[in-house]
Amino acid sequence: MPHWSTRLPLAGLLLAAVFLVSVGVRTLGDTTTAMLVSSFVMFAACLTSAAHLLGLRAALLFAAIAIVLGWFAEQMGSSYGWFFGSYDYTDVLGPRVGDVPLVIPLMWFALTYMGYVIANLIIWRAPADGSTHLGEAMAMSLLAAMVVTAYDLGADPYMVFVLKAWIMTKKDGAWFGETVQGFVGWMFVSFCIVLVFRLVVRKLPIRPATGVDRRHALLPVLIYAGLMAFQIVAGFPVETRSIAVFAMGFPVLCALAGWRHWKTHDASNQGETAYAERPVAWRAG
């Protein structure tokens, strides 16, 4: 019987397809149900992808770090105005843990995982670099945080003014009524999540599933591109639609260019996946 890990690429592809369909449905009417379904499916697709590209242990570590830190940041934001400014969640996003809707920490994992993979594809031409150098880890975490925050440039006004997922105390900020502090918070929290993950796995070689090839690294890029497409079609205010083209289109195109040059070997024959021309702690099996 095939090992369960060999089924991950197909499972991830199916989940990504369901996610993209759900995002398309949301453009016709973004309800609480549509938002919850798309968020849970996005989380499942990213976790499946991470288990295949990074290995199950690293994927679960990444998810745990993102969920815990993401929930803490949002709880402190809702309670004390830390990081993002003062705001309160409405009932639009469904059940909560404390003051924070359950889907929000799950989205923190999905978005930071996408940022992590896209940043690696841009710089190292591979979805994981395996670097143990602290300076590189910090720089790569900052780049991943910028990729995540590029998504929020259009998502934040939409979530507040259209979906009404939360209510900001200050409504006359410099970004379409939103506060610029929110983007500082997104950068900081995303940076911390990715950096903590990188530091945790510095001495633990990332072990992907057997048979990883370039096609499998496309999934997080495609999901990010799907989020961009939603903003281009349904972003509000309308100015955010053109912003999404450049803010999110730039990392998507750069990641695809890096993906195109990712040099791999057949793990089933070689026993190892080589990333670009750079030796890394990244082995199959």
Query: How many independent structural domains does the chain possess?
Result: 1
* φ, ψ of residue 248 in degrees (nearest 5): -95, -30
**Could you give the 3-state DSSP secondary structure of residue 33?**
helix
Q: What is the pLDDT of residues 10-32, one digit of tens each?
A: 777 788 888 888 888 887 777 78
Q: Which of 166, 170, 269 is nearest to 210 (CA)?
A: 269
pTM: 0.88
Domain membership of residue 1 (yes or no) is: no
Domain membership of residue 142 (yes or no) is: yes
Average pLDDT of the segment spanning 263-281: 39
* φ, ψ of residue 244 in degrees (nearest 5): -60, -35
Q: What is the pLDDT of residues 192-211, one digit of tens each?
A: 999 999 999 887 767 776 66
Are 88 and 77 a contacting pair, CB within 8 Å?
A: no
Domain membership of residue 33 (yes or no) is: yes
Q: Which of 174, 111, 102, 169 is nearest to 145 (CA)?
A: 111
Domain membership of residue 56 (yes or no) is: yes
User: Which residue carries 């057949």 as its tokens?
Assistant: 266
Q: What is the pLDDT of residues 88-130, one digit of tens each?
A: 999 999 999 999 999 999 999 999 999 999 999 999 999 988 6
Q: What is the pLDDT of residues 57-81, one digit of tens each?
A: 999 999 999 999 999 999 999 888 8
3-state secondary structure 72-93: HHHHHHHHHCCCCCCEEECCCC
Domain membership of residue 228 (yes or no) is: yes
Q: Please say whether the dihedral angle defined by the alpha carbons of residues 259, 103, 164 and 179, taken in this order, is positive or negative.
A: negative
Q: Please say whether the dihedral angle defined by the alpha carbons of residues 145, 146, 151 and 154, taken in this order, is positive or negative.
A: positive
Are 50 and 5 a contacting pair, CB within 8 Å?
A: no
The residue segments making up the domain with residue 138 are: 7-270
Quickly list H helices, the chain: 8-26, 32-53, 56-80, 103-124, 134-161, 181-200, 218-234, 239-247, 249-260, 267-270
User: Which residue carries 């349904």 as its tokens?
Assistant: 234
Domain membership of residue 284 (yes or no) is: no
Domain membership of residue 13 (yes or no) is: yes
